[in-house]
């Protein structure tokens, strides 16, 4: 009888060993060891890939963490203190508190996308993606390595902005569970989206096009700096078709307790986006599309 790492041999009571028992036992041991080695190498390789991606952006932390955090804090200073004096409050909370969740969300969306998108695309340019594809790593393990590191970068940038805002007097924590859920799910969604773009992109212009002409406009129109209730019709209705609006307001509810849209609907939208992007990324890696051409 074959077990995983343990083989039990039933021999006659006379002490004699049936023919072929030793051969079968040895074969079982080899098969069990091979299966275990493949599993362990896959998990170990996933951890190594995650650490490599982590080390990559930490090595240039001045560009990957400090620079985007400072840029977003400039938005906070300009809009928070210039418009804050005029608006005072939105939905019963100080404008500075209203602004922080949107800026945090904007920063982590852009940084998680860029981290996975550029990293995978660069591996294609250098040809190292071929080495990655022939490893024992499964598509899900490759996705986990890239996505995990991108989530860490997004949370790091958003955390710096959040911490500085708190030090400057902002009060931004209402429900921890909702806050953490929207932070993690949004990071995962755009990390997976960045990985998809990195797989499909043929040059750097394709990578730059998405944040400059898609993510940034959708983010600005997603209620980062204002409430959609302040928009005249029909733009308040049009804004509700922007998925980033639900992500921003979901985080805003977790931090401040106010939202322009139902939080449950926002949670459903961001969850579906994660599952959709995960399925597309898995299919691209599993089929080798744009990687073996």
Domain ranges in the chain are 21-287
- The whole-number pLDDT of residue 135 equals 80
Residue with tokens 């200073």: 77
Residues of the chain under the 70 pLDDT cut: 1-23, 26, 29-42, 83-86, 292-293
Sign of CA dihedral 186, 192, 198, 201: negative
- Look up the pTM and report it: 0.82
- The whole-number pLDDT of residue 251 equals 94
- The whole-number pLDDT of residue 114 equals 93
DSSP 262: -
Residue 151 to residue 154: CA distance in whole angstroms: 5
CB burial of residue 143 (10 Å; 0-12, 13-18, 19+): buried
- The whole-number pLDDT of residue 274 equals 97
What phi and psi values does residue 101 have, to the nearest 5 degrees?
A: -60, -40
User: How close are the terminal C-alpha atoms of the chain, in Å?
Assistant: 45
The number of C-alpha atoms within 13 Å of 227 and in the hemisphere containing its C-beta is 18
- The whole-number pLDDT of residue 28 equals 74
Question: Residue 104 has which token pair?
Answer: 């945090």
Nearest to 285 by CA among 96, 78, 145, 88: 145
């Amino acid at each position: 009888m074959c077990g995983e790492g343990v083989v039990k041999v039933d021999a006659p009571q006379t002490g004699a060993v049936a023919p072929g028992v030793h051969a079968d036992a040895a074969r079982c041991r080899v098969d069990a060891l091979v299966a275990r080695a493949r599993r362990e190498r896959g998990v170990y390789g996933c951890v190594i890939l995650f650490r490599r991606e982590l080390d990559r952006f930490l090595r240039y932390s001045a560009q990957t963490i400090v620079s985007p955090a400072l840029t977003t804090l400039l938005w906070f200073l300009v809009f928070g203190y210039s418009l804050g004096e005029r608006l005072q409050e939105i939905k019963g909370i100080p404008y500075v508190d209203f602004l922080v969740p949107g800026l945090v969300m904007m920063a982590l969306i852009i940084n998680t996308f860029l981290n996975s998108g550029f990293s995978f695309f660069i591996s294609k340019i250098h040809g190292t993606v071929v080495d990655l594809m022939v490893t024992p790593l499964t598509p899900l393990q490759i996705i986990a390595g890239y996505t995990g590191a991108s989530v860490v970068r997004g949370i790091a940038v958003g955390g710096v902005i959040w911490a500085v805002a708190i030090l400057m007097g902002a009060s931004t924590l209402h429900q921890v569970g909702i806050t953490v859920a929207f932070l993690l799910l949004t990071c995962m969604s755009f990390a997976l989206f960045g990985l998809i773009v990195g797989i499909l992109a043929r040059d750097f212009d394709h990578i730059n096009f998405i944040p400059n002409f898609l993510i940034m406009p959708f983010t600005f129109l997603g209620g980062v700096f204002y409430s959609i209730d302040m928009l005249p019709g029909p733009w308040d209705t049009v804004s509700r078709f922007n998925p980033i609006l639900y992500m921003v307001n979901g985080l805003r509810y977790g931090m401040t307790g106010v939202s322009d849209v139902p939080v449950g609907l926002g949670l459903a939208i961001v969850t579906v986006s994660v599952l959709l992007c995960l399925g597309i990324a898995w299919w691209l890696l599993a089929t080798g599309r744009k990687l073996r051409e």
